[in-house]
């Protein structure tokens, strides 16, 4: 059994809600002035989603594809200066 789209009254307006198989709300539409308008929008959504392509919108379509090349060596971190002993500090005075 697939999920369903319910038409609901919200005050004097109407909206539709998309529910998954277990009845959890996936999304809610905006408000419509009359019930037939909400039903038409819900029907259009159902038609549009059947067989819809899933597109990853997190990556721009025109972005160049990165190719993997040899890994660059990590930059060498400078070694911290060795702390001077008290004798070396005293000799400096």
Query: Domain boundaries in the chain?
Result: 4-49
The per-residue b/e assignment along 1-20, b for 16 or more CB within 10 angstroms, e otherwise, is eeeebebeeeeeebbbbbee
What is the mean pLDDT, run by run of 10 residues, along the chain of 93 residues? 84 93 92 95 89 80 62 68 69 71
pLDDT for residue 8:
94
Beta strands 13-19 and 25-28, pairing class: antiparallel
What is this structure's pTM?
Answer: 0.56
pLDDT of residue 35: 95
14: nearest Cα among 44, 35, 28:
35
What CATH class has 4-49?
alpha beta
């Amino acid at each position: 059994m697939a999920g369903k789209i319910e038409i609901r009254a919200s005050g004097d307006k109407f909206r539709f809600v998309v529910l998954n198989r277990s009845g959890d709300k996936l999304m809610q539409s905006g408000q419509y002035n009359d019930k037939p308008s909400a039903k038409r929008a819900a029907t259009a959504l159902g038609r549009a989603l059947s067989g819809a392509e899933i597109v990853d919108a997190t990556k721009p379509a025109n972005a160049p594809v990165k190719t993997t090349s040899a890994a660059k060596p990590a930059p060498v971190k400078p070694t911290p200066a060795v702390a001077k002993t008290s004798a070396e500090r005293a000799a400096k005075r």
